[in-house]
Amino acid sequence: MLYRAAMSEAASAAATRATIGDSEFDRDTAATRRAPGVYDIDLSAGWTIINAVNGGYLLAVLGRALGDALPHPDPFTISAHYLTASRPGPAVVRTETVRTGRTLSTGQASLFQYDDEGNEVERIRVLASYGDLDTLPDDVRTSAKPPAIPPMDQCFGPEDGPAPVEGGSAIADRLMLKLDPATLGWALGKPSGRGEMRAWFGLADGRDADPLSMLLAVDALPPTAFELGLKGWVPTVELTAHVRCRPAPGPLRVSITTRNLAGGFLEEDAEVWDSAHRLVAQSRQLARVRLG
């Protein structure tokens, strides 16, 4: 009886752990093809930070539509220009195939929502080249080193303290985010003055990482601006991500660096490392800051 009870409990746990294809993230980034190149979207309210729909979540939505539209499955390099602020609710993604090749294809995609008169308003436009990560040779000569971040049990997430950022942040409930205490000074009123943010990253329901969830990961940490002593919103103007490898199962390490805060703008360079110590994704975004 004990054995059967234990097995039943294990089976229940296994049945409830989310998987790639069956998870909050997959459901909330679903793109339903209505016609060739036209995808119906329902932007979830669950991936907002301070009431704004997270830019990485939006990039993943567009990435999913393009992965369906193009003959190659994985984003290799994807650039997004953020035009107007998205809102939870209905949206449509329109894709265009720009060029198809043997190993790479290029596509363009736009996400639209609707104004009060029902007219389409473009929120984001993306240009991307896709390939097949599973066909890449495994010759790896990466000279970069993984970030120095303490073990996960020595890092802290939103659930470990009072909510440091005012306003709704539903995304916090959907992520497993454990920040390096060396990049948490801002949450204690003592920003370090260094443009750095580092964290262990995963999805709260246990779903493993994949190329699309890495598009979320590069934009899901608190802004480096907080550690630079800046307050307020740091909207992304443009973000380019390179996906270099299918990530191994297990948590990711994300390390973000800003070195050029100037003239009302800053860049955030993100590196994503997987549990096999591969540099699986890199991104750079240009964002606006409010100075002074």
Please give the residue ranges that form the binding site for its own copies (CB under 8 A): 76-77, 79, 81, 83-84, 98-99, 104, 106, 108, 122, 125-129, 133, 136-144, 194-195, 228, 237-238, 240, 242, 244-245, 258-265, 267, 278-279, 282, 284, 286, 291-292
What are the angstrom distances between the C-alpha of 251 and each of 26, 68, 100, 177, 199? 17, 26, 34, 10, 10
**Nearest 10 degrees: CA dihedral of 109, 67, 57, 135?**
-130
**247 φ/ψ angles, rounded to the nearest 5 degrees:** -70, 145
Residue 5 CA to residue 168 CA, distance in Å, equals 40
Residue 255 CA to residue 273 CA, distance in Å, equals 8
User: Shortest Cβ distance from residue 240 to its own copies (Å)?
Assistant: 4
Residue 92 CA to residue 257 CA, distance in Å, equals 33
- For residues 24 and 132, which CB has a smaller minimum distance to its own copies in the complex? 132
User: Shortest Cβ distance from residue 80 to its own copies (Å)?
Assistant: 8
Beta bridge partners of 191: none
- For residues 118 and 263, which CB has a smaller minimum distance to its own copies in the complex? 263
CB 87 within 8 A of CB 53: yes
User: Shortest Cβ distance from residue 265 to its own copies (Å)?
Assistant: 7
The letter for the amino acid at 271 is E
191 conformational bin, left if phi > 0, alpha if psi -120 to 50, beta if neither = beta
User: Shortest Cβ distance from residue 108 to its own copies (Å)?
Assistant: 7
Residue 243 CA to residue 38 CA, distance in Å, equals 24
- For residues 188 and 291, which CB has a smaller minimum distance to its own copies in the complex? 291
User: Shortest Cβ distance from residue 35 to its own copies (Å)?
Assistant: 22
User: Shortest Cβ distance from residue 67 to its own copies (Å)?
Assistant: 16
- For residues 63 and 158, which CB has a smaller minimum distance to its own copies in the complex? 63
- For residues 59 and 155, which CB has a smaller minimum distance to its own copies in the complex? 59
User: Shortest Cβ distance from residue 95 to its own copies (Å)?
Assistant: 14
User: Shortest Cβ distance from residue 68 to its own copies (Å)?
Assistant: 19
Among 268, 246, 285, 241, residue whose Cα is nearest residue 77: 241
Residue 46 CA to residue 120 CA, distance in Å, equals 23
- For residues 104 and 248, which CB has a smaller minimum distance to its own copies in the complex? 104
CB 175 within 8 A of CB 203: yes
**245 φ/ψ angles, rounded to the nearest 5 degrees:** -165, 145
- For residues 61 and 280, which CB has a smaller minimum distance to its own copies in the complex? 280
- For residues 31 and 126, which CB has a smaller minimum distance to its own copies in the complex? 126
* Tokens 């550690």, located at residue: 227
